[in-house]
């Protein structure tokens, strides 16, 4: 076990500090292409809040939001999350329906070939949705297997007065709605839901506002939306993405930044590990990239000393995962999948622990070995739970 | 001649004999000078033949496509004014008449091979009567002349009408059909002679020709655009059948004057019913977040300053299961004077509204050319929901915005104006939220309607005219059929 573990750290070190030219990157890219990245298609009328939704989900600054009374998004575009280089989720933002001098049929046909899942966005108080409902029903006929989420936005327009605040706790998940929900708003929500009664659709009322709108929080219902996305798309990475963090006290701003990247690389390694006989070098190359990118997020240079210290602190605990991976790989198909999940979980856990370590380095207070190993084990187990059966 | 010259010479000789020659010559010269001066003075002071200038203006009630013809006639009038023989040469006269009528007829019946013939026969007689009558009243009567003629004005007008109505009886003979304008002008010439004007001066001739062209064109336009009615009745004095039904429906008391008809148009839940309630100041129509109105519901509104109006509330389009609303709306277009488009300011999807207005414009351009496009006003509702969403402190300076809210209201109005192709001044931002005091109805919307009252009345005039013509058309048919039936019966 020691031998395997030592070999791992050595090999990773080689990958980090003496990257092999050519070949590896091309292969990584090839795998990346084949990774199933779910595409969420956002469909709805103009100014219904499609781009706001993307902004709240992805924090993308590129997502430009309109003023509420004039069309803003002019063409369809993809928003990769967390980053364009290592996307986990992909959102397809489309031009709104109902714009003057815009015939959406061509765009709709194009989008139908790009997506895997439909998010329909409609303002809760906008009853003029014939076009949207018709489009949804057409899409459903073409792709009956697609999950559909209907997001009902701009809830504040249905509040009894301008001074009303969002209702806490979020009351829209129970049926019938809790009595705090204003009657008119409840009526409007239910009326819209009635249009989709022949389809199996998930509804999420939300209200994403601008800070100057003075509603607290600005992303009211975001958690409910994530929950629903998790329900309809049983992919482990969504759960992982939202983070069930046991080590919150050890996480700081940098770690939060690094989190989606770690998942991105972990996913990539699921793909790598699942390739029969792909071999260690690819997995290691991806992990090497992850280490570099985490270090750069922390604003630190990844030096030999830093790496050696980390490897020494981690010691043998990493080897187990690696051993498992290698053994399982001998079993055809099932073993590849498990081995893939193992590689992914390992990458994830390594990334997480590296964050914890760098956090300590930055603060000048080194975490002790036991804590670090504990963190690794927990992260590994969490990730394996999410990724092994759902990846 | 000789005896006169001899007299002159003998006179001069007699003066010379008495040594009075130079004195006599001086007196004579002074006399000549005085006479010349007096004549010169008189010529300067002489008044033109026509005391008043007359102007013939196009009728503002004409449909839109009739107005440009008027301008087209100007060069034609200029050209013919210089012709002097028109009044005496019948063939020239026929040529002029033909030219004017062709210009007008070609405009209205561009696709017809012989546009001149595109009108019913009795209308032609009416045309002649009207031209003669007008030329007599407006041109000949303004020539100062014998008092006897002036006294006979009324009589003569009647005579001229009788004279022309008598033509009806000889109409079929054919001669009048060919040369009726000649007949009209002969009549005019006769009147001039009776005033002692044996020579027609160029001034009178010019005036007459100009007046003739204008008058002829005027009535020809009325004729071809379908404005002439056989019965001399004012169209708006009668109630159109649609209004009859609606007033009965709303249990209003009997009306004597056709009201203006307003149609509220807009997407589902854009606030049409709320606008009705705000206009009436009481709850008349159910309004709420969910679509409430179905079909077209009439309301009779009476307000100070605005004469009685019928407001039609329509079901919004764009909602689910609201497919029939478009067809129902289309049936209403021709009965409408003012369209009020109700737009939710926070609704950026205005394609439906733009499309609906496009249908209206197309309808009046293609299918209903002899009526004119109703006045279109847009109302931007829900402006209280524009950003900043929590703020609502009316009144706002919308024309010169001084804060974010006013700026957004203005921007929203501009966006509506652009997307619906309406002038900016036809967009009124309002707030009709039930929990707030209605904003900008009294101070914004009603004044705007008042501004467009003239245009709306013109639309109403044409609308009533059409309906009446349709009615009178069938009435005449019926009369003729009955008569034919009588004759048949008598013969049997």
Q: Are residues B118 and B219 in the same domain?
A: yes
Whether the Cβ atoms of residue A266 and residue A383 lie closer than 8 Å to each other: yes
> How many residues can be counted in chain A?
391
Contact assignment for A69 to B269 by CB distance below 8 Å = no
Smallest CA–CA distance from A73 into chain B, residue: B348
Determine which of A159-173, A229-243, B29-43, B444-458 has the lowest per-residue pLDDT on average: A229-243
- Which residues have C-beta within 8 Å of that of residue A98, sequence separation ≥ 6? A45, A46, A128, A131, B348, B349, B350, B351, B352
- Per-residue CA distances from B278 to A237, A384, B406 (Å): 54, 63, 22
Q: Are residues B196 and B308 in the same domain?
A: no
Could you tell me the end-to-end alpha-carbon distance of chain A, in angstroms, rounded to an integer? 27
Cis peptide before B449, with omega less than 30 degrees from 0? Answer: no
Contact assignment for A130 to B351 by CB distance below 8 Å = no
- Tokens coding A94: 């489309």
In a domain, B479, yes or no: no
In a domain, B160, yes or no: yes
Note down the domain range covering B265.
241-463
B-chain CB neighbours of A190 within 8 Å are: none
Q: Which residue has the higher pLDDT, A246 or B414?
A: B414
CATH number of the domain where residue B390 is located: 3.40.50.300
> How distant is the Cα of B378 from the closest Cα of chain A, in angstroms?
15
Determine which of A193-197, A378-382, B326-330 has the lowest per-residue pLDDT on average: B326-330
DSSP A124-192: TT----HHHHHHHHHHHHH-TTS-EEEEEE-GGGGSSSTT----SS--TTSSSPPTTS-HHHHHHHHHH
B-chain CB neighbours of A191 within 8 Å are: 290
Q: Which of B370, B363, B375, B307 is nearest to B332 (CA)?
A: B363
Phi, psi of B31 (to 5 degrees): -60, -45
β-pairing verdict for A39-44 and A117-123: parallel
Sign of CA dihedral B343, B348, B353, B354: positive
Q: Which residue has the higher pLDDT, A85 or A173?
A: A173
- Residue B292 forms contact with A (CB below 8 Å): no
* Spatial separation of the C-alpha atoms in residues A332 and A274, rounded to whole Å: 10
- Residue A49 forms contact with B (CB below 8 Å): no
Whether the Cβ atoms of residue B353 and residue A177 lie closer than 8 Å to each other: no
In a domain, B255, yes or no: yes
> How distant is the Cα of A173 from the closest Cα of chain B, in angstroms?
22
Asked if the model's pLDDT at residue B227 lies above 80, the reply is: no
With cut-offs at 50, 70 and 90, classify the pLDDT of residue A205: very high
Q: Are residues B141 and B11 in the same domain?
A: no
pLDDT of residue A156: 93
Q: Which residue has the higher pLDDT, B383 or B147?
A: B383
Q: Which of B28, B46, B64 is the last residue of a domain?
A: B46
pLDDT in tens, B17-65: 888 888 888 998 999 999 999 888 877 665 554 445 556 777 777 777 7
Asked if the model's pLDDT at residue A125 lies above 80, the reply is: yes
Which DSSP category does A368 fall into? P
In a domain, B352, yes or no: yes
Instruction: State the CB neighbour count (10 A cutoff) for residue A177.
Output: 18
- Which residues have C-beta within 8 Å of that of residue A73, sequence separation ≥ 6? A46, A50, A51, A64, A66, A93, A94, A95, A96
Tell the residue number behind the tokens 């519901």, with chain if given. Answer: B297
* Spatial separation of the C-alpha atoms in residues A181 and A183, rounded to whole Å: 6
In a domain, B476, yes or no: no
Mean pLDDT, range B469-486, rounded to an integer: 63
Contact assignment for B290 to A128 by CB distance below 8 Å = no
Contact assignment for B411 to A70 by CB distance below 8 Å = yes
Whether the Cβ atoms of residue A44 and residue A58 lie closer than 8 Å to each other: no
Q: Name the most confidently modeled range: A7-16, A164-173, B58-67, B204-213.
A: A164-173
Q: Are residues B328 and B425 in the same domain?
A: yes
Interface predicted TM-score of the whole assembly (ipTM), two decimals: 0.72
Please name the residue ranges forming H helices in B391-435: 404-419
Asked if the model's pLDDT at residue A49 lies above 80, the reply is: yes
Contact assignment for B291 to A127 by CB distance below 8 Å = yes
In a domain, B485, yes or no: no
Asked if the model's pLDDT at residue A56 lies above 50, the reply is: yes
Smallest CA–CA distance from B320 into chain A, residue: A130
pLDDT of residue B26: 92
pLDDT in tens, B186-209: 666 666 555 544 444 566 667 777
- Per-residue CA distances from B323 to A125, A128, B445 (Å): 20, 12, 30
Contact assignment for A188 to B385 by CB distance below 8 Å = no
pLDDT of residue A188: 93
Q: Return the residue in B270, B321, B345, B348 with the most chain A beta carbons within 10 A, the one to mutate for interface testing.
A: B348
* Spatial separation of the C-alpha atoms in residues B144 and B203, rounded to whole Å: 14
Beta-strand ranges (E) seen in chain A are: 39-44, 77-81, 89-93, 117-123, 148-153, 201-205, 207-208, 219-220
Asked if the model's pLDDT at residue A244 lies above 80, the reply is: no
**Angle between helical axes of A253-274 and A334-363 (0-180°, round to 10):** 160
Asked if the model's pLDDT at residue A102 lies above 70, the reply is: yes
> How distant is the Cα of A286 from the closest Cα of chain B, in angstroms?
46
Judged on CB neighbours under 10 Å (0-12, 13-18, 19+), B54 is middle
Q: Which residue has the higher pLDDT, B68 or A204?
A: A204
- Which residues have C-beta within 8 Å of that of residue B31, sequence separation ≥ 6? none
With cut-offs at 50, 70 and 90, classify the pLDDT of residue A155: very high
- Residue A81 forms contact with B (CB below 8 Å): no
Tell the residue number behind the tokens 């001149």, with chain if given. Answer: B116
Cis peptide before B388, with omega less than 30 degrees from 0? Answer: yes
Q: Are residues B345 and B263 in the same domain?
A: yes
Whether the Cβ atoms of residue A321 and residue A254 lie closer than 8 Å to each other: no
Q: Are residues B350 and B445 in the same domain?
A: yes
With cut-offs at 50, 70 and 90, classify the pLDDT of residue B158: very low
Sign of CA dihedral B225, B231, B237, B242: negative
Q: How many domains does chain B have?
A: 3
Contact assignment for A128 to B269 by CB distance below 8 Å = yes
Instruction: State the CB neighbour count (10 A cutoff) for residue B380.
Output: 28
- Residue A121 forms contact with B (CB below 8 Å): no
Contact assignment for A212 to B268 by CB distance below 8 Å = no
Q: Are residues B259 and B386 in the same domain?
A: yes
Contact assignment for A214 to B290 by CB distance below 8 Å = no
Q: Are residues B313 and B459 in the same domain?
A: yes
Q: Are residues B162 and B301 in the same domain?
A: no
From chain B residues 96-125, the ones with a CB under 8 A of any chain A CB are none
Asked if the model's pLDDT at residue B254 lies above 60, the reply is: no
- Residue B381 forms contact with A (CB below 8 Å): no
Q: Which of A273, A277, A166, A179 is nearest to A222 (CA)?
A: A166
- Tokens coding B454: 């003239």
- Residue B488 forms contact with A (CB below 8 Å): no
pLDDT in tens, B410-443: 999 999 999 999 999 999 999 998 888 889 988 8
> How distant is the Cα of B295 from the closest Cα of chain A, in angstroms?
17
Asked if the model's pLDDT at residue B102 lies above 90, the reply is: no
- Which residues have C-beta within 8 Å of that of residue A111, sequence separation ≥ 6? A41, A43, A76, A92, A94
A68, A158, A195 member nearest B320 (Cβ) = A195
* Spatial separation of the C-alpha atoms in residues A9 and A314, rounded to whole Å: 10
In the sheet with B338-344, reading across from the earlier edge strand, the strands are B296-303, B306-314, B260-266, B338-344, B375-381, B427-429
In a domain, B311, yes or no: yes
> How distant is the Cα of A45 from the closest Cα of chain B, in angstroms?
7
B289, B347, B350 member nearest A158 (Cβ) = B289
* Spatial separation of the C-alpha atoms in residues B432 and A107, rounded to whole Å: 37
> How distant is the Cα of A381 from the closest Cα of chain B, in angstroms?
47
- Residue A216 forms contact with B (CB below 8 Å): no
With cut-offs at 50, 70 and 90, classify the pLDDT of residue B89: low
- Residue B434 forms contact with A (CB below 8 Å): no
Q: Which of A36, A15, A40 is nearest to A146 (CA)?
A: A40
In a domain, B482, yes or no: no
Contact assignment for A127 to B269 by CB distance below 8 Å = yes
Q: Which of B193, B224, B255 is the last residue of a domain?
A: B224
Whether the Cβ atoms of residue A286 and residue A280 lie closer than 8 Å to each other: no
> How many residues can be counted in chain B?
492
Determine which of A47-61, A166-180, B200-214, B332-346 has the lowest per-residue pLDDT on average: B200-214
Q: Which residue has the higher pLDDT, B133 or B67?
A: B67
- Residue B479 forms contact with A (CB below 8 Å): no
Smallest CA–CA distance from B409 into chain A, residue: A69
Q: For residue B365, give the 3-state DSSP assignment.
A: helix
Q: Are residues B396 and B307 in the same domain?
A: yes
* Spatial separation of the C-alpha atoms in residues B348 and A65, rounded to whole Å: 13
Q: Are residues B291 and B431 in the same domain?
A: yes
Q: How many CA atoms lie within 13 A of B314 on its CB side?
A: 28
Which DSSP category does B366 fall into? I
**Angle between helical axes of A317-328 and A2-17 (0-180°, round to 10):** 90
* Average pLDDT over chain B, rounded to an integer: 74
Contact assignment for B347 to A128 by CB distance below 8 Å = yes
| Segment (H or E) for A257 | helix A253-274
A-chain CB neighbours of B390 within 8 Å are: 162-163, 213-214
Q: Are residues B35 and B76 in the same domain?
A: no
A100, A130, A187 member nearest B289 (Cβ) = A187
A-chain CB neighbours of B386 within 8 Å are: 68-69
């Amino acid at each position: 076990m020691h031998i395997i573990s030592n070999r791992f750290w050595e090999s990773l070190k080689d990958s980090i500090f003496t990257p092999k030219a050519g070949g590896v990157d091309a292969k990584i890219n090839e795998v990346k292409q084949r990774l199933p990245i779910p595409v969420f298609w956002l469909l709805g009328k103009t100014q219904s809040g499609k781009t706001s939704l993307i902004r709240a989900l992805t924090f993308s600054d590129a997502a430009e939001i309109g003023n509420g009374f004039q069309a803003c998004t002019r063409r369809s575009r993809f928003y990769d999350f967390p980053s364009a280089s290592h996307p986990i989720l992909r959102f397809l933002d489309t031009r709104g329906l109902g714009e003057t001098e815009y015939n959406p049929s061509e765009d709709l046909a194009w989008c139908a070939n790009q997506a895997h899942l439909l998010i329909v966005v409609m303002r809760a108080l906008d009853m003029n949705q014939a076009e949207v409902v018709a489009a949804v029903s057409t899409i459903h006929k073409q792709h009956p297997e697609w999950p559909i989420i209907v997001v009902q936005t701009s809830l504040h327009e249905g509040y009894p007065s301008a001074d009303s605040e969002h209702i806490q706790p979020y009351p829209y998940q129970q049926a019938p709605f809790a009595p705090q929900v204003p009657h008119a708003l409840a009526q409007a929500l239910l009326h819209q839901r009635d249009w989709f009664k022949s389809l199996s659709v998930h509804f999420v009322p939300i209200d994403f506002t601008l800070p100057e709108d003075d509603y607290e929080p600005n992303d009211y219902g975001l958690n409910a939306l994530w929950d629903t996305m998790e329900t309809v798309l049983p992919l482990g990475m969504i759960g992982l993405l939202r983070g069930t963090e046991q080590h919150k006290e050890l996480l700081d701003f940098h770690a939060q930044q690094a989190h989606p990247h770690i998942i991105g690389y972990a996913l990539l390694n699921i793909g790598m590990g699942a390739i029969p006989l792909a071999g260690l070098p690819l997995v290691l190359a991806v992990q090497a990239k992850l280490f570099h990118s985490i270090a750069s997020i922390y604003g630190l240079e990844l030096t030999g000393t830093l790496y050696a210290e980390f490897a020494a602190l981690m010691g043998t605990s990493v080897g187990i995962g690696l051993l498992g991976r290698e053994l399982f790989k001998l079993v055809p198909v099932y073993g590849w999948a498990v081995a893939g999940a193992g590689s992914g979980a390992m990458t994830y856990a390594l990334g997480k622990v590296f964050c914890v370590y760098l956090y300590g380095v930055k603060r000048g207070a080194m975490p002790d070995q036991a804590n670090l190993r504990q963190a690794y084990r927990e992260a590994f187990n969490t990730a394996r739970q999410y990724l092994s059966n759902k990846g | 001649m000789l005896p006169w010259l001899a007299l002159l010479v003998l006179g001069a000789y007699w003066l010379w004999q008495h040594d009075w020659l130079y004195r006599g010559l001086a007196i004579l010269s002074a006399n000549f000078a005085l006479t010349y001066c007096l004549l010169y003075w008189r010529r300067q002071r002489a008044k033109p033949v026509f005391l008043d200038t007359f102007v013939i203006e196009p009728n503002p009630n004409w449909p839109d496509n009739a107005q440009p013809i008027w301008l087209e006639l100007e060069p034609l009038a200029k050209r013919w004014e210089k012709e002097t023989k028109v009044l005496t040469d019948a063939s020239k006269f026929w040529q002029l008449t033909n030219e004017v009528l062709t210009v007008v007829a070609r405009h209205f019946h561009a696709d017809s091979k012989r546009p001149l013939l595109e009108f019913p026969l009795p209308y032609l007689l009416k045309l002649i009567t009207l031209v003669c009558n007008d030329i007599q009243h407006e041109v000949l009567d303004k020539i100062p002349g014998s008092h006897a003629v002036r006294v006979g004005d009324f009589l003569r007008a009647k005579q001229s009408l009788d004279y022309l109505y008598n033509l009806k009886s000889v109409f079929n003979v054919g001669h009048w059909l060919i040369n009726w304008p000649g007949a009209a002008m002969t009549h005019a010439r006769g009147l001039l002679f009776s005033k002692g004007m044996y020579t027609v001066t160029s001034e009178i001739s010019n005036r007459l020709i100009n007046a003739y062209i204008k008058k002829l064109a005027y009535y020809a336009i009325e004729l071809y655009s379908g404005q002439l009615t056989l019965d001399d009745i004012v169209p708006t004095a009668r109630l159109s059948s649609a209004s009859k039904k609606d007033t009965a429906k709303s249990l209003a008391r009997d009306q004597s004057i056709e009201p203006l008809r307003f149609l509220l148009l807009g997407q589902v839940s854009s606030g049409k019913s709320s606008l009705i309630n705000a206009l009436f100041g009481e709850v008349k129509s159910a309004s709420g977040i969910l679509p409430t109105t179905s079909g077209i519901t009439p309301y009779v509104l009476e307000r100070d300053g605005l004469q009685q109006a019928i407001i039609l509330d329509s079901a919004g389009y764009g909602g689910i299961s609201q497919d029939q609303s478009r067809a129902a709306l289309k049936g209403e277009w021709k009965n409408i004077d003012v369209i009020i488009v109700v737009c939710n300011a926070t609704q950026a999807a205005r394609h439906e509204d733009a499309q609906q207005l496009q249908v209206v414009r197309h309808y009046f351009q293609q299918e209903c050319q002899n009526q004119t496009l109703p006045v279109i006003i847009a109302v931007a509702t829900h402006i209280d929901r524009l950003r900043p969403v929590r703020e609502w402190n009316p009144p706002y300076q919308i024309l010169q915005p001084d804060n974010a809210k006013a700026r957004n209201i203005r921007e929203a109005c501009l966006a509506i104006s652009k997307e619906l192709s309406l002038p900016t001044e036809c967009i009124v931002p309002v707030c009709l939220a039930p929990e707030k005091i209605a904003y900008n109805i009294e101070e914004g919307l009603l004044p705007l309607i008042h501004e467009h009252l003239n245009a709306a009345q013109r639309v109403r005039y044409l609308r009533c005219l059409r309906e009446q013509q349709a009615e009178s058309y069938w009435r005449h048919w019926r009369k003729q059929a009955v008569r034919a039936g009588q004759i048949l019966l008598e013969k049997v």
